[in-house]
Chain A
C-alpha cells in the first residue's frame, strides 16, 4: 500500500473538457424515434391481425409502450448529451460515453495506432461525424460520437500528427 499522504480520497477524475455538438441530441432523438416507430408498427400489426385472440388489456400495453417510448425519446438524448464528453492533450486522449452505464476511456497518444472518422447518411445531413481512435488493444478504441464535422476533421488531423511523432509499434 502507498503512503498515506499520496493516497487520494477518491478517483478525483474530472470530466473531459469538451462537449459534443448540440445537434447530436437531434441525431440521437431521430434514431430513437426510428426504432420506436418500428416497434410501434409491429404492435399495431399484431393488434389488427390477431386482435380477437388477445385479451382486453391490449390497449393498456399500447399505452404503456407509448409512455416508455416518449420517456426514452425525451430523456435519453439529453442524458447522453450531458454525459458525452471528450478531451485530448499532448499526451493522452480521454472520452466519456454512455448514459445508463457510463464509461471513461483513457489512452496515451503514444499508443495510438489509427485515427478515423465516419459519417452515416443522417449524420451527413446534420453535419456530424464520429471519430474512432484505436490502440493496439482490441478492447480499447476511443469513440467520440456526434462531433461537429469541422471539429472532427481538425481532431483527426491533430491526432494523426501527434501519433506520427511517436514511432515504435505501440504495443
Chain B
C-alpha cells in the first residue's frame, strides 16, 4: 500500500472524542472472568470452609472478580481518526495502543457464544510486521455486531472505495458515525461499503466434507483432549468408574474375552471416538464456511457454529496459497488450502486470526482445494502444473536421512538395553522403524518438487504432511542458501526463500547448484548478478 500521507490539517481541526465499547459488555465481562476464575474461587471456598465462612469467602471473591472485570469497560476507550486507530486501556497501568490505518493488513471479527447472544463482536486489527511482538494487535472487544462489520469494511476498503482527496472527510464522518450509530442513519452509512452486495463467492462448505475430518491429525488431538478432560472430571469428582452402568458392563465383557479381542475392541472404540470428536470439531469450527472476494479488494472468510469468526485479508497482503495434505487425508483424496499473507504468520498466537485463521478452505476434496487455490492466485495452471523433480542426490539423501534416523533409534534403544538393562526386549520393536523407513523415504523423495512459473514460486515437500506452497515471486525478499558438510560433499544445497508472509520462509530442499541458480534468477531477477563469479559473468 502506498497511500499518500494525508495532510495533518484535516486532523488538527478538533481532537476526536474517545468512545466506549458497547455497554452490553458489562454483562459479558463478569460471566467470562468468573468462569476463568472458577479454580481460584473453589480454592477460596475450600480454604474458607475451614473457618466456617466458606460461602461468604466464595461470594466475596466472586464479587471482587466481577468488579475488576467490569472496570475493564470503564477504562477502555477507543477512537478512529483519519490515519489511526487508537485504544486507551488499563486501570493501574494505562497504555495507549495505536495503529496506522494504511498499515492495517487483516481485520478479524469474532463472536463467542455470549457475544452472539447479546449481538456483540470482537474486532482485532492486525498490522503485520509488528505482530511479531504481539503487543500491537489492536483489540476492540465488544462492539455491536453491525458496527464491527462496518468498521471492518472501512478499515480495509477506504483507499479503494474513494479517491484519495475525499479520504480524510469520509473517514472523519466514519469515525464520528461509529459512536453515533445508535442515532439515525447518516448519508455516509448508505454509501459505505455494504457487505453482501459486492461480494463474489469463491467457495462454501459442503456438509459432506465432514467425512474428511477423521483423517486429519487434529482429530487425534481433539480426541485426546476430550479424553483427558473427561479423565480429570472423573478423577476429581471421585466417581467410581467401574460402578457406572454401561462402563461396568463393558468392563466385565472385556475381562471375559481373550486379550487380543479386548485390545482390538479398545482400539476400535478409540478410533470411533476420535472420528466422532474430530467431526464435531470440524463442524464447530467450519459450519457455514464461506470464502468470498469483495469488490473493494479483500478476501472474506466467515465460519463457525457457536463461535462465529469473520476474517478479512486485504488483497494486497495476499502473497500466495498453501496446500496441505496430511498422509491419511491424502490417501482419501483430501486437502486443505491456507492463505499465505503478510500479517498472518502461521503458528503465531499473536496474530489476530490466531490458530487456523489463515484457512481458505477446510479439509475438502483435493480438486476443490486446488480450484480455490487457483481462483485466489488467479493462476490455475500453476496450481496444477507438474513440478520439477530434485534428482538422484536429493533422492539418495532422503533415504540416508530416514534410515539414519531409524538406525539411530534402534542403536540407542539397543544400547540402553545392553548397557543399562532398560526396558527388556522393547528395542526389538524399533526394528519396525526400519520396515517403515523405505516407503517413507520413497514417498518423501517422490513428493519433492519445485517450479517457477507465471510469477509464482511453487515448492513442495514432506510425506507425513505433504505441503505445497505457491507464493508470488514478488513476495520473495531474499535467499538463504544453506549447505551442511554433507551437502557440500554431495553437491546440493537447500534454498530458503525468505518472505514477510506466512511461514516467513519457504524451503526448497537439496537442489543442485545450477538448478538453484535458475530458480533464483527466474524469481528474483538480478539479485544474484552482482555476486556472480567473474569468469561466468
Contacts and interface: CB of A to CB of B under 8 A. Distances in A.
B128 interface: yes
Interface stretch (B89-97, B269-277, B476-484): B476-484
Nearest to A91: B530
Nearest to B482: A103
Contacts, number: 130
Interface in B497-537: 498-501, 503-505, 513-514, 516-518, 521-522, 524, 526-528, 530-534, 536-537
B342 interface: yes
Contacts of A105: 478-481
A13 B533 contact: yes
A89 B1 CA distance: 27
B498 A135 contact: yes
B345 interface: yes
Find the residue from A9, A11, A139, A168 having the highest chain B CB count within 10 A. A11
A107 B481 contact: no
Interface string A141-171: 0000000000000000000000000001111
Contacts of B481: 11, 13, 103-106
Contacts of B118: none
A108 B527 contact: yes
Interface in A68-105: 87, 89, 91-92, 94, 100-105
A92 B530 contact: yes
A2 B480 CA distance: 23
Contacts of A107: 477-478, 498
B446 interface: no
B129 interface: yes
Nearest to A15: B531
Contacts of B498: 107, 135, 137, 139-140
B531 A87 contact: yes
A89 to B, nearest CB: 5
B531 A13 contact: yes
B488 to A, nearest CB: 7
B65 to A, nearest CB: 37
A147 B373 CA distance: 46
A92 B451 CA distance: 25
Interface string B463-478: 0000000000001011
Contacts of A7: 514, 518
Contacts of B528: 13, 106
Nearest to A96: B481
Find the residue from B388, B521, B528 having the highest chain A CB count within 10 A. B528
Contact of B493 (A11, A14, A170): A11
A57 interface: no
Interface in A1-17: 1-2, 7-14, 16
B530 A138 contact: no
A135 B533 CA distance: 25
A4 B488 CA distance: 25
User: Interface majority SS on B: helix, strand, loop or mixed?
Assistant: mixed
A65 interface: no
Contacts of B534: 14
A137 B527 contact: no
Contact of B514 (A9, A111, A139, A169): A9
Contact of B2 (A2, A111, A138, A168): A168
A8 B536 contact: yes
Given A14-B532, A137-B504, A139-B496, A106 B527 contact: yes
A111 B522 CA distance: 19
A92 B528 CA distance: 9
B260 interface: no
B103 interface: yes
A84 to B, nearest CB: 15
A45 interface: no
B485 A101 contact: yes
Interface in A98-136: 100-108, 111, 113, 135-136
A137 B530 contact: no
A102 B483 contact: yes
B132 interface: yes
Contacts of B530: 89, 91-92, 94
12 contacts: A1-B518, A10-B517, A12-B536, A14-B533, A101-B483, A106-B478, A106-B528, A108-B527, A137-B505, A139-B504, A171-B475, A171-B500
The 5 A-B residue pairs with the shortest CB-CB distance, nearest first, are A107-B478, A140-B498, A11-B513, A139-B505, A136-B500
Interface of A: 1-2, 7-14, 16, 87, 89, 91-92, 94, 100-108, 111, 113, 135-140, 168-171
Interface of B: 1-2, 103, 128-129, 132, 342, 345, 388, 475, 477-485, 488, 493, 496, 498-501, 503-505, 513-514, 516-518, 521-522, 524, 526-528, 530-534, 536-537
